[in-house]
Amino acid sequence: MRFVIKHEIRGRLRIHLCRQPLTIHQADVLDQHLSALPGIQKVRIYDRTADVVILYTGEREQLTGTLQRLSLARLEKSVQVPADSGRQLNREYKEKLVQRLLARAAQKVLFPAPLRAACTLCRAAGYLVKGLRCLAKGQLQVEVLDATAISVSLLRRDFDTAGSIMFLLGIGELLEEWTHKKSVGDLARSMSLNINKVWLNVDGAQVLTAASRIVPGDQITVHMGNVIPFDGEVVSGEAMVNQAALTGESMPVKKEAGASVYAGTAVEEGEITFRVKSAAGDTRFERIVTMIEDSEKLKSTAEGQAANLADALVPWSLAGTALTWLLTRNANRAISILMVDFSCALKLAMPLAVLSAMREAGNHHITVKGGKYLEAVAEAETIVFDKTGTLTKACPVVAEVVAFGGQDPDEMLRLAACLEEHFPHSMAKAVVDEAVRRKLDHEEMHSKVDYIVAHGIASYVKDSSGEGAGKKATRVIIGSYHFVFEDEGCRIPDGDEALFEQLKPEYSHLYLAIGGILAAVICIQDPIRPEAAQVIRKLKELGIKKTVMMTGDSERTARAVAWQIGVDEYDSEVLPEDKAGFVEEEKRRGRKVIMIGDGINDSPALSASDAGIAISEGAAIAREIADITISENDLYQLIVLRTISSRLMARIQQNYRQVIGFNLGLILLGAFGVLQPAVSALLHNTSTLVISLKSMTNLLEEGEEA
């Protein structure tokens, strides 16, 4: 790739590509590829000028050498980018904004007064129609106030004031629309699927295949707890599918042969095989955008209050105008009040503040599915943590495999991995990864796998001692002590009791039983996240009054972890319904509750909480049900989330004070004749834009993480 270095300082390079301006697709491809390269911290593409700004670490010569070896034509064929990156949207609205500014300037400079007046009358017609429609519905809303202000200015033949009002209103509407669409688009992209592997049916067997290789007509099997990756039609199986991510409905829907399934929905119970209709991601993105725009989830209580207050103040503004005219008989004073209203700023600044906070959270790899969840995080008093994969590291490892009854440890690990690979949870991943590390490849040795939530996995394997077609199928289970020994009634092989008693207590244990007899115990080392204790202390400093850890692990393990991280309460050996029950009880006591988890068994509690937070590398269904998703890297993102949420609520309150205080001052100055109508209109609309633009700024300072 040929380029010229236009400017450089240490760690920053600006280059110009020796080619025509980039297309939107080329800019997206180059952005995605460069951002993924090691040592590159940030990339900014200027598609119109074919310029690229790169922030990097490492050697300059290495970076320039890499850039020289790139071929944009090859990248376009090999690099997959999202169907909608948002770049086209930004270009479109920048052009609209520039066009309006240039049109306004040209009109003021080039048009004679009669032509400017004619243009103003034509533009005013749209505002007048909106106002009349509101009146026809029996409503007094901000559209009526705008139409009245413009009409009075026109009746007084003050065309410049009317034009200024409409220009500022138009700019405000454009900025609101742009910010809203950009925030919704960013949110939709973060909620879009990120599935790399799927189970493809080939000649009656399930083969783990890259999602990018799937084409329409392929048959995919989705197991319990996983997300459906494509649109399609069920050909076999039966499942309860959670479609909340697309439809907003809370109850799962039954899917069986002949039913349609949609990308992004999650299988809560059962298992289905479906035929792929479309392997493209465009429809998924468009559906999410539609869902977000239509859903009340996007609205926080503060936004609703601002909108209601804005509409409620319209009659008072009209009444104040009439009263001022009756008392003073001065039209200028009355019109000065009419030029000022609280509605514009209230209706514009509050949603922009919320959407901008959601966008900022997304910049920190935190996906928030609605403004009301930021509000819930800001007001929360109780926070409930799952332990495994949440307070402990997301990548536990197998420390030891203890075999019983003369079984071979490697063979038992092979069998366990064969079962666990169907269910992506941190402990299951540890088993699968250890089998890979030991190079224990396997074919499917079992029949259908049943997942018993919060307990374990059950299936059947062929008894190798059988002959030919008469081989017997033996029940094999893997899971918790409670599941294996109490629910299933399995026993320890005779003579191995002492070995069982010697199991190290500092490890978590997965028990594998074949035919009702313990065959192995897989010891999982699940280190506590190094930041967990500090995060909990910081959350308390930020106003969280009660921290709770709930886990299905034993009392011994739970007590040790709780002591190390410093939670206020803990509960061990709990079931999914126990976690959800605790959340509901806290809510009945009048407390706002946050629940943080990563597994299928956390889903009921995530749904029950005021704000459910899932770890992005956890179970797919947990991510779908959760209201907020944070990355798996560390728990400090909870501090970032709490800080953004608290500062958002403080900004909203500040916006209230600024809007009401400033506009009330303008009304009083206008009523006493200090300000003329045109000045009142200019100051009012300018203040609205200033407050709105300030609401779009980041809540965290540059470089601040908490």
- 243 touches 209 (CB < 8 A): no
pLDDT of residue 642: 95
pLDDT of residue 282: 47
Q: What does the buried/exposed string (b/e) look like for 152-161 if buried means 16 or more CB atoms within 10 Å of the residue's CB?
A: bbbeeebbeb
pLDDT of residue 83: 59
Residue 647: name the closest of 657, 637, 639 by CA.
Answer: 639
The total number of residues shown for the chain amounts to 706
Residue 55: name the closest of 4, 12, 9, 8 by CA.
Answer: 12
pLDDT of residue 500: 93
pLDDT of residue 465: 46
Write the CATH number of the domain with boundaries 3-81: 3.30.70.100
Write the CATH number of the domain with boundaries 366-393+528-632: 3.40.50.1000
- Collapsing DSSP states into helix, strand and coil, what is residue 519? strand
Q: Across the 706 residues of the chain, what is the mean pLDDT of every consecutive 10-residue run?
A: 86 86 84 82 87 88 87 75 72 86 87 88 89 83 75 80 78 71 65 69 82 81 83 89 60 84 79 80 54 52 66 75 78 69 71 81 81 89 87 80 94 89 74 89 64 74 52 82 89 93 83 94 86 93 93 80 91 84 91 84 81 72 72 82 93 86 83 76 76 83 61
DSSP state of 447: S
CB count within 10 Å of CB 625 equals 24
Write the CATH number of the domain with boundaries 197-280: 2.70.150.10
Residues 318 and 148: their CA atoms lie apart, in Å, by 9
pLDDT of residue 195: 64
pLDDT digits (tens, 9 = 90+) for 146-162: 787 788 778 878 788 77
Q: In Å, what is the CA distance from 609 to each residue of 571, 583, 626?
A: 17, 6, 9
CB count within 10 Å of CB 685 equals 22
Residues 552 and 79: their CA atoms lie apart, in Å, by 42
Indicate the fold that domain 397-525 takes in CATH.
Calcium-transporting ATPase, cytoplasmic domain N (3.40.1110)
pLDDT of residue 534: 93
pLDDT digits (tens, 9 = 90+) for 310-325: 677 777 777 877 787 7
* Residue 379 amino acid letter: E
Domain ranges of the chain: 3-81, 92-188+298-353+646-695, 197-280, 366-393+528-632, 397-525
